[in-house]
Structure 1
Amino acid sequence: MEDIDLLLDLHKKADRQGPGGEAETRLAVTLSGLSDRKNLKIADIGCGTGASTITLAKSLDADVTAVDFLQDFLKELEQHAKTEGVSRQITTLEASMDALTFGPSTLDAIWSEGAIYNIGFERGIQTWRPFLKPGGILAVSELTWLSDQRPSELEDYWSREYPEVDTASAKMALLEANGYTPVGYFTLPETCWLDNYYRPMQERFAGLLEKYDGASDARALVEAEQAEISLYERFSAFVSYGYYIARKLPD
């Protein structure tokens, strides 16, 4: 079986494919300064099954393009959008986040919750910047160290899994060096990790193992996810997602 099939089976029926929360998306909207704007054009990149997409559609006068490379996730998003009554505001786009075809300076905002790591933070903010209008908003959540000092076990794990993990000050410096000015920042609380992401995932482990009759690949995936969960439970004071809101500066 392919790893992608296992990941789809584990995550496609989930509300979230990473840590986050509706209140946190709404806070980012508030910090962005977009709330009073009309007829916005927004891309939600790496949207998964659409938790943030739907919150954006409910919170803003906006047309939201929901971008993901997995059609299964987009189908789930479309169904959720119908249920929530926002399907007219949302267009889905099956595409890779590093090969987007938006026109130059056509978007009022780009959102990406827990997904920019797929191409790397610096590459993502560079690649997506041309799509933003002058003064356009970038809002992304990104794995972030909460302290200069952290346990070696935690640092070894995340430096191996995502070498670009760094402190908020380092991420802010990258934004400033790549044509943005930061306008807001906060960290996701534990509930975004445990209640909204990890606990629901753990409830799906048994079903995944049953579906694949305990196959070694399925067991390996469950064990890897559980190891990450256990690490977070022990060391949540040292790492989280930082939510970065920035404005595009003139060229």
Structure 2
Amino acid sequence: MDELELLVDLHRSGQRQGPGGSKETRRALEMTGLAQARGLRVADIGCGTGSASLLLAEWLDAEIVAVDLFPEFLAELNDRARTRGFSERIRTLEASMDALPFAADEFDLIWSEGAIYNMGFEAGHQAWRRFLKPGGMLVVSEITWLTAERPPALQAHWEREYPEIDTASAKVAQLERHGYRPEAYFVLPPDGWLTNYYEPLEASFEAFLERNAHSESARNIVEAERREIALYRRYRDFYSYGFYIASRID
């Protein structure tokens, strides 16, 4: 397997492929004002194995298009949707988030937890805006600085990994410049990183290494994940995911 295939193998059995939590998904949904609406059209972009898609199917009267680049993740989501009785509510679509085959003004709600960074926050919300109906809602979670200053080692790490990391005020200003009205914002708490994501991921490392014969590439991936986890445990007061809820304006 190449590195990308190994990463998919590591993450495909996880309930989620990044930090988050059902309480936070519910909180963000309530902030959209759409929880009681009927007949919604929803896109979950970068859905992974569908943690958010399944919750939205449970809580909304909606047709959901769950989009991901990796068919292995979508196969897991389809299995989980069948088990929970949501096959008629969730349609999976294998596509790149920067080449989506959607029509203008198609969706009431675009959702993306922990995935917009693959395009970049600004490029992502600019590209997706046209798929929203006027007044439609955007919900994304995005890596965000929690303080005006941070330790140099942490700053250097994120400048390498994701140069678009910034404060919430800067992210909100981007939304305002590109045709959105910010409606709400909140920070993902530590249990969304540790209890819901990093600790289950750590528990999967040994089985992952065994499946892949403890190859050098597999060991390198595990070590990289361990460094990321250690970084968060040390510096979690300085960064997290922020949930950004905004509406399209014209």
Establish whether TM, by shorter chain, passes 0.5: yes
> What CA deviation, in whole Å up to 9, does each residue of 1:169-221 have, x standing for no partner?
00000000000011011010011000111001101111111122221111110
Aligned to 2:41: 41
Aligned to 1:23: 23
Q: Figure out how many residues of one structure are paired with residues of the other and give that number.
A: 250
5+ long unaligned stretches in structure 1: none
Whole-angstrom distance in 1 between the partners of 2:204 and 2:38: 40
Whole-angstrom distance in 2 between the partners of 1:215 and 1:76: 25
> What CA deviation, in whole Å up to 9, does each residue of 1:86-120 have, x standing for no partner?
22110000000000011100110100000000010
- Once the two structures are superposed, the pairs formed by residues 99-110 of structure 1 within 5 Å of their partners are 99-110=99-110
Deviation at 1:3, TM superposition (A): 0.9
Aligned to 2:5: 5
Describe the SS at the equivalent of 1:112: strand
* Greater shift in the superposed pair: 90-99 or 75-84: 75-84
Whole-angstrom distance in 2 between the partners of 1:29 and 1:211: 38
Deviation at 1:151, TM superposition (A): 1.0
Aligned to 2:187: 187
Aligned to 1:128: 128
> What CA deviation, in whole Å up to 9, does each residue of 1:2-29 have, x standing for no partner?
1111111100000000000011111011
Whole-angstrom distance in 2 between the partners of 1:85 and 1:25: 20
Give the fraction of aligned pairs with identical amino acids, expressed as a percent.
54
- Once the two structures are superposed, the pairs formed by residues 101-180 of structure 1 within 5 Å of their partners are 101-180=101-180
* Greater shift in the superposed pair: 206-215 or 113-122: 206-215
Whole-angstrom distance in 1 between the partners of 2:104 and 2:3: 35
Describe the SS at the equivalent of 2:130: helix
- Once the two structures are superposed, the pairs formed by residues 48-67 of structure 1 within 5 Å of their partners are 48-67=48-67
Opposite residue 243 of structure 2, the aligned amino acid is Y
Opposite residue 34 of structure 1, the aligned amino acid is L
5+ long unaligned stretches in structure 2: none
Residue 230 (str. 1) matches residue 235 (str. 2) = no
Regions of 4+ moved over 6 Å: none
Whole-angstrom distance in 2 between the partners of 1:94 and 1:161: 26
Aligned to 2:80: 80
Opposite residue 249 of structure 1, the aligned amino acid is I
> What CA deviation, in whole Å up to 9, does each residue of 1:27-82 have, x standing for no partner?
01100010121100000000000000001111111100000010000010011111
Describe the SS at the equivalent of 1:110: strand
Opposite residue 104 of structure 2, the aligned amino acid is P
Residue 216 (str. 1) matches residue 216 (str. 2) = yes
Deviation at 1:84, TM superposition (A): 1.7
Whole-angstrom distance in 2 between the partners of 1:159 and 1:15: 29
Aligned to 2:97: 97
Deviation at 1:135, TM superposition (A): 0.2
Describe the SS at the equivalent of 2:175: helix
Whole-angstrom distance in 2 between the partners of 1:211 and 1:59: 37
**TM-score (norm. length: structure 2):** 0.99
Whole-angstrom distance in 2 between the partners of 1:141 and 1:13: 22
Whole-angstrom distance in 2 between the partners of 1:96 and 1:176: 25
Whole-angstrom distance in 2 between the partners of 1:143 and 1:159: 12
